[in-house]
Structure 1
Amino acid sequence: MGKTSKDKRDIFYRLAKEQGWRARSAFKLLQADETFHLLDGLHRAVDLCAAPGSWSQVLAKHMYEPLSEEDKKKVKIIAVDMQGMAPIEGVTQMREDISKESTAEAIINFFEGEKAQIVVCDGAPDSTGMHDFDSYVQIELVITAISIATYILEEGGSFVSKIYRCDKTSKAYTQMKRFFKDVCVFKPSASRNSSIEAFVIGRQFCLPEGHKLCNLTLEWQNDPSTWIEEFTGYPPAVTVPFVGYKGEWDSDRTYGMTIMCTMRLCRNH
């Protein structure tokens, strides 16, 4: 008999299957939106490292599906990934590398000269099991996502990206403090407590005066310490604000089918 995986016992895995989400990660963006109201009234969005598409589904569900046929024409959602994925109504796919400036230019062209109102990224490297290495690669991916966001986000826009909680979290935080007035790390209940995964959220995007768009990873390596204090006013080690989501479901618990059905019935009545 095959071993039952933890995913199949997980409440969010079951709900994703039941509700038609491509992955349980959809609930992480849904809970971020519920907490911070990130998707209210938006018409232009970018999903980086989008495959298999659960976050693109959330964007379409909130920004595209509720609208009339006429208003749907104003909505532009683009999913960027080097890997293809099944189509989603209301979402345009672009198979490009997010580390290239040409990708940023192609996104702006897609928006017909305008810029995105929100950029989201649920990308993560393939896990090797070596915590320090995986954390390093993940932070570099986050910095790359921030870098392209500085090209394609309009003033006042928002940014959401997966991040691993580790000693390098402050690196992403200090980078984001340069460009966003409000920055915090968010832990949805759909993300297991046992996981080092969290999400960094930046709101109210604004380019610093005189800032020249560049690859932030390279810029960081050129001057890692004095550069941080000059632009942020913070020393390299900082206290990162942390926000947790409190909901009725707990991804670390195992729920029986009877309990799930009973809770749904109570909620519906």
Structure 2
Amino acid sequence: MGKSSKDKRDLYYRKAKEEGYRARSAYKLLQLNEEFHFLDNEDNLKKVVDLCAAPGSWSQVLSRKMFTESKEVDNKNKKLIAVDLQPMSPIDNVITLQADITHPKTLARILEIFGNEKADFVCSDGAPDVTGLHDLDEYVQQQLIMSALQLTTCILKQNGTFVAKIFRGRDIDMLYSQLGYLFDRVVCAKPRSSRGTSLEAFIVCLGYNPPSNWEPKLDINKSIEEFFNGCKMSQLSLSDDNDNKLPQWKDGQREIAKFMSCGGLQSFDSDATYHYDDEILSNLKDKLSLDPVQSPTNPPYKKALELKRSGKLTRAV
């Protein structure tokens, strides 16, 4: 989130800079919490994992929610871990791991930090670099979600909560049904800070309740299907429907997750353009350009700048 951007007219973009968040996506988690209140009970929020966390806006929200200055709240036993393949700049009260969420070593490291205790809440705001080909983007995103889900089933405690970004598409109800075997309630939510033109939404999975006879075990050499072998969700299959060619389930049942909007009409519309003379903006700070909250940790142009400053970068003749 730099000093100049084509999105600078976006109110959430500016609010994030004013309130010290590294990205506007912080408000997506905040608006989800306004609806589901999974971050409001500090006593039940002691072990938290943020997957695919870079640049860290969700970790910032979690840190501010978990670690308060109230004398009535004990922060000593609380742990917040942010995991991503990319490097992240430090965040107060956050343990950052530069690691692969699909590797068993990452699981072992998280459990070691937690003292072999399970997490209360796991979230993932990760997404692949979109291509514009919706079917491909949806497929890659679902693979990312399943990778996050594999790790989550190994570290999330009974009745815990899992939140993740999804791309809604033709076969998304397959994912809803799979999650329905692991959680008591699955809801698809669209925060008001998420642009209406975007395919993204968020699955909020409440009440982790896996089959009692199934023990998840992360193995880098096993496929997703093999990982969930023994769990009811592995029984789902795809077949062509004569009408719409939608997923069909072996038991004849299809799961349609409830869809809801989060944020309320009192929140800013992410697709609207606001002007500074509007009454709704009266509480915002000055109109001057704001400095970035966090400089890039490892920008791709860093090497080029170093070569240019040393005089080693010359134009080809």
Partner of 1:30, secondary structure, is: helix
> Match of 1:253, as an amino acid?
A
State the Cα deviation string for residues 94-131 of structure 1 (Å, max 9, x = none): 11111122212211111001111000000000111211
> What does residue 36 of structure 2 align with?
36
> Match of 1:32, as an amino acid?
L
Q: Which moved more, 1:27-36 or 1:206-215?
A: 206-215
> What does residue 235 of structure 2 align with?
227
Say if 1:49 and 1:122, in contact at 8 Å, map to a contact too: yes
Q: CA deviation at 1:238?
A: 3.2
Find 1:60's aligned residue among 59, 63, 77: 63
> What does residue 45 of structure 1 align with?
48
> What does residue 137 of structure 2 align with?
134
Which has the larger Rg?
2
Unaligned ranges ≥5, structure 1: none
Higher percent of residues as helix: 1
Unaligned ranges ≥5, structure 2: 238-248, 286-317
> What does residue 90 of structure 2 align with?
87
> Match of 2:177, as an amino acid?
T
What is the Cα-based RMSD across aligned positions, in Å? 2.7
> Compared with structure 1, are the counterparts of its residues 71 and 140 closer, same or farther at alpha carbon in structure 2 (3 Å cutoff)?
same
> What does residue 275 of structure 2 align with?
256
Q: Which moved more, 1:218-227 or 1:128-137?
A: 218-227
Say if 2:146 and 2:224, in contact at 8 Å, map to a contact too: yes
Partner of 1:56, secondary structure, is: helix
> Compared with structure 1, are the counterparts of its residues 84 and 35 closer, same or farther at alpha carbon in structure 2 (3 Å cutoff)?
same
Say if 1:115 and 1:154, in contact at 8 Å, map to a contact too: yes
| Residues in 2 aligned to 1:213 and 1:64: alpha-carbon distance in whole angstroms | 31
Q: CA deviation at 1:247?
A: 3.6
Q: Which moved more, 1:176-185 or 1:102-111?
A: 102-111
Say if 1:228 and 1:235, in contact at 8 Å, map to a contact too: no
> Match of 1:35, as an amino acid?
E
> What does residue 261 of structure 2 align with?
244
Find 2:104's aligned residue among 101, 106, 114: 101
Identical pairs, percent: 42
| Residues in 1 aligned to 2:270 and 2:88: alpha-carbon distance in whole angstroms | 26
In the TM superposition, what are the counterparts of 1:114-153 in structure 2 within 5 Å? 114-153=117-156
| Residues in 2 aligned to 1:97 and 1:61: alpha-carbon distance in whole angstroms | 26
Question: Normalized against structure 1, the TM-score is what?
Answer: 0.88
Q: CA deviation at 1:235?
A: 4.1
List 4+ stretches of structure 1 deviating above 6 A. Answer: 220-226
| Residues in 2 aligned to 1:80 and 1:152: alpha-carbon distance in whole angstroms | 13
Find 1:77's aligned residue among 55, 77, 80: 80
Higher relative contact order (CA 8 A, sep 6+): 2
> Match of 2:282, as an amino acid?
T
| Residues in 1 aligned to 2:171 and 2:56: alpha-carbon distance in whole angstroms | 28
Q: Which moved more, 1:88-97 or 1:218-227?
A: 218-227
Corresponding residue pairs, total: 260
Question: Normalized against structure 2, the TM-score is what?
Answer: 0.75
Q: CA deviation at 1:67?
A: 4.1
